[in-house]
Structure formats: C-alpha cells, structure tokens
A and B are shown apart, each in its own frame.
Chain A
Amino acid sequence: MSGAITLTLRGALDGPLELPGLAAAEPAALGERELARLEAWHGGRRTVLGEFFEVTGGRAERLVVRGDLRLVEGLGAGLAGGELIVEGDAGPLVGARMTGGRIEVRGDAGHGVGLGMAGGTIVVRGNAGDRVGSAVAGGSRGMTGGEIVIHGDAGAECGALMRRGVVAVRGTVGPYAGRTMIAGTVLALGRFGPHPGRWSKRGSLVALGGIEPPATYRYACTYRPPHLAVLLRRLRGRYGLPILDEHLTGRYHRHCGDMAELGKGEILAWMAP
C-alpha cells in the first residue's frame, strides 16, 4: 500500500465534471490503472477519470487531488473512511452524504459542503458557498452527524434543515443560517447574516461575533451555557479556531425560538466583556 494516491488535473476544465466512480469506490482497494478507469461525466458525456487526471499511487487511505477543481462536483461525496485532501479550490457538494473519514479543502469550496452528511469531518481552509450541512435536493433533513469547519466565510442557509452535528465558521455566515433546523449546532466567530434560525424546531445558533435574533425568538436569560466550554475547547484544540478564553468563560444571551415553530431552538449570543 502506497502512502497516498494523487490525482492531478491535466488541464483546465471547460464544463462541470462529476466523478461518480470515485464516490462509489474504495480508493484503498484500487491500483493506479483501476482508479484511472473509474467512471466520470463531463458535458453530458460518459468517460473515465484518467482522461482528466494523472493518477499516481494506489491502494492508499489518503487521496490527494490537485488542480483548479472549481468545476469538479461532489469531491469526497459518500466518503466512508480515509482522508481526502483537495489542494486548491473545490466545486460544489464536497463531502455530500459522507459517513466517515476526513476531507480537507485547502482553498474555497462551492455550495453544498457536507450536504446530508452523517459522519466524519470536513475542513475548508477558505470560504464555502451556500447551504453548508444542509439537505440534499428533496431531502427532509440536512446533516445528521459529523463536523464541518469553515476557516473563511460561509454562504446563505448554512445548516438549513440540519438534524445533528456541528458546523463551525471562523468568518461570517450568510442569511437564513439554520433555516428550519431540526437540531445540531451552527457556530460562527464572525457575524450571522439576517434572518438566523427562521422556523427552527430545535438546535443552536452560537454567535461569537454578533447576531440579530428574529422577532419570533424570545429572550430567556444571560448565563454561561456549560456545554459550550466543551464544544469551544474542542474546536480550538482540534481545528485551531481562534476561540478566546473570554468565549469559554463568558456569558451568553439565550433567545428561545423559533416561536413560529416548536420553539425549542436557541440563539446563544456571546456578550463581549
């Protein structure tokens, strides 16, 4: 077994590329030639992965993909184990429906990061598009487990329909974060955009950088949520997020909502000292 499999994009893409063969395969069980023969779709044409990527290595738990991958859809989709490193920007649907393993995007990622994921970890070093951790098209619930960490900003509807798990964003979060959220946690060090937590049943939006709770949320109290210290210490220690000691020990305004729904959700807004 080699140390890593490397897929290097041969040239710029002129249209979306999907790699369903890679999503369905276990790279650790495949050699170079087998990997190159995996199914790919480009411009409505069925082809093979090797047409677009130079494959080196094989039978490894670690997969490295290199190049300008903004037009490649679903990198790491369905991942169940091992590690995927994307060296560059990634297209939409990174890690969609993944159940385990770890994905790291060393650039920006398109929309739908971790859509419907059930387990594992996704780390995006840059920005992420809309609907991080949300539901796949037509799905009734978003991610049901795992952790997504965005080191840049995240787009609209982050955590929409989320059922369980954690999405942590170092930067700002777009509008409608946690829309119709069922449970789970969306946390941002930057500011939440407008309409956070609309129609959420349960779940937590944790705002370390400012938030405007909707009118359908009711202020409850100002206190120290004990579970946040556990979560924040994990995010700082494991993912290097710049969580301050003041975040760990500080007090938070708790707002209950959405009262237009079940009302068992919450917005926890950090009180800067």
Chain B
Amino acid sequence: MRIRGTLIEDTFAEAFTMRVARVVITARSPRWAREAALKMTGFATSVIGCKCEAGIERELAPDETPDGRPGVAVLFMTMSKDDLAKRLIERVGQTVLTCPTTACFDGLPGAPDRVGVGSALRYFGDGFQASKVIGGERFWRIPVMEGEFLVQERFGMLEGIGGGNFLILAESADAALEAAEAAVEAIDPLPEVILPFPGGVVRSGSKVGSRRSTRLIASTNDAYCPTLRGLTETALPEGVNSVLEIVLNGTGPEAIARAMRAGIEAACRPGVVAIGAGNYGGKLGPHHFHLRRLMAGAGGAA
C-alpha cells in the first residue's frame, strides 16, 4: 500500500493497557491553567524513566469546566491503579496546588473506579482544611497563602492504552521532522489522545533490554538507527537516513486508531520513504494496530 508515494509497511503497532485519569485544571486565565498543566505533564514521557506518562489533551472553554473558568484537560497514565494514585498525588500536589489561582477537578466523572487525590492532599491544610459535598462529590478546600486551593476528593480511572505508535522513515532528518510536525498538527485537535513526548515526537525509539547490560530495561533501537546500517541487522529500507516516531496514548483503541490514521495521513509527504511501526512480535501488548487496515480507504491510498 502507498499513500502519495509513501509505502505503508505491512506491520502493526503494539500497545499495552494503562490506567488513565483525566485531570481538569482551571485557573483565572488560560495562561495559568496552561502553566500548571505544563508543569504537571513535564518529565512524563515514558513510564520507563518517569513513572507516568501525561500530556495535555486540550484546552477547555469556561462553559466546559465545573467552576466556569478556563481550563486544561490532562490525560495522566500509569501502569497500575496504585501508581496512578501515588503519581497523581505527587504531581497535583507539587504542580497544581502550587500554581496561582488553580483548582483541580476529575475529568472522568462517569468512571466507576476511583482513586483518592484530594483525600490525601487535604493534609497539607494541617487541620485547617474543609470539605464541601456538591452534587454528591466531595471537594477539599485547602487554605494557601494566596487564598484557597480547591481539589476534588476522588478522580475517575479507566483502562486506557499506551504505546500506540508509528515510525516515519525519511530520506533526511529535515524531511522526517517536517513529516512528524505535520502528523502532530493533525493529531493535536483530536480528543482522548495525547502525545507524551517532546513536541509529540520521539527520536530515540527503544528496544526491550540491552545487549550489554541486564539492568537496562530498554536501549536504542539499533535496527532503526541509520548510523548503524552495516553494523547491525538493519530494518531500514534503502534511501532512509532518518527515522522519527510518534507515540500515542489514549483512552481506548478507537481514540488511538483515529489519531494514528490522521497522523499517518499527514505524514505521507515528499521525502518520506515509508511508514512503519514498533512492535515486539505481538508478545508484549494486547492492542495491535495494523497500519494497512487503519489506512484502508485513506485519501490517495493505492
């Protein structure tokens, strides 16, 4: 299959199940909501080194938030329920509670599985905290020097998907970056999905384990490193001199598939030789996104 001359490889992306929460951060202005969200989602690219993966899902208009102020929705993901609570308490406590004018709400009110966040953060109030039950939901009012920080007691949790991906195999680093930027731009407006890496793009895709150390759980994906062609068993087609990866996390398979379709469609442009995907032979993750099935019927597919 080719889209505008770019080969869609006959392979699949292998993704795994994660726990996901949606955190709604509001503030007096979009600027301060964004500041808190950026801090909260900083250093949250991969569970391998960051213990969580997070990203800004989208900005929210005042009429979409519980307190009628501008907000930002963050998708926050970990590998287990216990981890989700721990990491949320750490990050909301250090990055949202500390940020001027913010409040923090659960963005998955319908999720039956819930983890305590405000219920732990309230202790920062040192006995001066107070709670209010509004519409059946408990909120904690924590006194701070600026005034009060409001945080919901419990946050909904769903099973989401992490590690959706596709690879952009290009003739040059410039062409790869331009295609990756186009893909990110196409995915950005879509709901229920985040791109946790810098600017949505990964240049250092990894393989499981290491040739040299048993302690490393991941190391460079040498099969896709152009500088190692000739030294290692390469996976690069002829003419490929740079590869970038788009990694996607989302609330479910439909969200991932929709975003991959939009991203791949945008990435198929001059200078891009092929679109591939990272997988482990189907042994690690239960969610498989077959590129050619995803792109069947896409504009310009042949």
Contacts and interface: CB of A to CB of B under 8 A. Distances in A.
Contacts, number: 44
A13 interface: no
Contact of B141 (A164, A224, A227, A248): A227
B67 interface: yes
Contact of A223 (B68, B134, B148, B150): B148
B31 interface: no
A171 B74 CA distance: 40
Interface string B62-79: 000011110000000000
B148 A230 contact: no
Interface residues of A, number: 21
Interface string B125-162: 00000101111000101000001111000000000000
Contacts of B67: 226, 229-230, 233
A240 B170 CA distance: 59
Nearest to B69: A229
> Which of the listed residues B133, B147, B148 has the most CB atoms from chain A within 10 Å of its own CB?
B133
Interface string A131-170: 0000000000000010000000000000000001110000
A185 interface: yes
Chain A binding surface SS class: mixed
A223 B132 contact: no
Contact of A225 (B69, B134, B148): B148
A215 B220 CA distance: 71
B66 A233 contact: yes
B135 A226 contact: no
Contacts of B132: 185, 204, 227, 231
Interface residues on chain B, size class? 10 to 19
A70 interface: no
Nearest to A165: B133
A230 B151 CA distance: 11
Contacts of B248: none
Contacts of B103: 226
A234 B281 CA distance: 51
Contacts of B135: 234, 238
Contacts of B69: 229
A213 B136 CA distance: 29
* Interface of B: prevailing SS: strand
A166 B132 CA distance: 9
A264 B147 contact: no
Contacts of A97: none
A248 B66 CA distance: 12
A226 B66 contact: no
Contacts of B148: 223, 225-227
Nearest to A238: B135
A120 B150 CA distance: 25
A145 B149 contact: no
Nearest to B105: A230
Contacts of B133: 145, 164-165
Which of A185, A221, A224, A230: most chain B CB closer than 10 A?
Answer: A230
A229 B141 CA distance: 13
A202 interface: yes
B67 to A, nearest CB: 4
Of the candidates B67, B139, B141, B148, the one having the most CB atoms from chain A within 10 angstroms of its own CB is B67
A241 to B, nearest CB: 14
A248 B62 CA distance: 12
Contacts of A223: 147-148
A264 B68 contact: no
Interface string A168-210: 0000000000000000010000000000000000101000000
A233 B103 CA distance: 15
A227 B103 CA distance: 9
B68 A229 contact: yes
Contacts of A221: 147
Contact of B149 (A226, A230, A233): A226
Interface in A226-271: 226-227, 229-231, 233-234, 238, 248, 264
A123 B121 CA distance: 35
Interface in B38-70: 66-69
A248 B28 CA distance: 12
Contacts of A230: 66-67, 134, 139, 150
Contacts of B147: 221, 223-224, 226
Given A227-B141, A233-B67, 19 more contacts: A164-B133, A165-B133, A166-B134, A202-B130, A224-B147, A225-B141, A225-B148, A226-B67, A226-B103, A226-B148, A226-B149, A227-B148, A229-B67, A229-B68, A230-B139, A230-B150, A238-B135, A248-B68, A264-B130
8 contacts: A164-B133, A221-B147, A225-B141, A226-B141, A226-B150, A227-B139, A230-B67, A230-B134
Task: For the complex of A and B, list the 10 residue pairs with the smallest distance between their C-beta atoms, beginning with the closest.
Answer: A226-B150, A229-B67, A223-B147, A226-B103, A227-B132, A230-B66, A230-B67, A231-B134, A227-B150, A230-B134
